Homo-oligomer: A and B are copies of this chain.
Amino acid sequence: MNQEALKALLEATKSGETSIDEALEQLKTLPFSDLDFAVIDHHRQIRNGHPEVIYCESKTVDQVLGIMKHMVNERQQAVLATRVTTEQQSAILDAFPSASVNVLGRTVKINCPEIKETADYVAIVAAGTSDLPVVEEAYETVSALGHRAVKVVDVGVAGIHRLFSRLDLIRGAKVVIVVAGMEGALASVVGGLVDKPVIAVPTSVGYGASFGGISALLTMLNSCSSGVTVVNIDNGFGAAYAAAQIMKL
Task: List A residues at the B interface (Cβ < 8 Å).
Answer: 3, 6-7, 10-11, 13-14, 16, 20, 23-24, 27-33, 35-40, 42-43, 46-47, 53, 57-59, 63, 127-130, 156-162, 164-168, 174, 182-185, 188-189, 191-193, 195-199, 202, 204-235, 237-239, 241-242, 244-246, 249
A99 to chain B, nearest CB (A): 21
Tell me if B192 and A157 are in contact (CB < 8 A): yes
User: Beyond A182-B224, A215-B222: 20 further Cβ-contacts under 8 Å?
Assistant: A6-B24, A28-B38, A36-B165, A127-B224, A157-B157, A157-B224, A159-B192, A182-B223, A183-B185, A184-B185, A185-B185, A185-B223, A197-B249, A207-B233, A208-B213, A210-B222, A210-B232, A227-B241, A227-B242, A249-B249
- Answer whether A168 and B3 are a contact pair too, CB < 8 Å, given A183-B185, A192-B157, A241-B227: no
Q: Across the interface, do A32 and B167 meet the contact criterion of CB distance under 8 Å?
A: yes
Cβ distance A174 to chain B, nearest Cβ, rounded Å: 6
CB-CB < 8 A to A221: which residues of B? 183, 208-209, 215, 217, 230-233
Alpha-carbon separation in the docked complex, A118 to B221 (Å): 31
In the assembled complex, how far is the CB of residue A243 from the closest CB belonging to chain B, in whole angstroms?
A: 8
Whether A232 pairs with B222 at a CB distance below 8 angstroms is yes
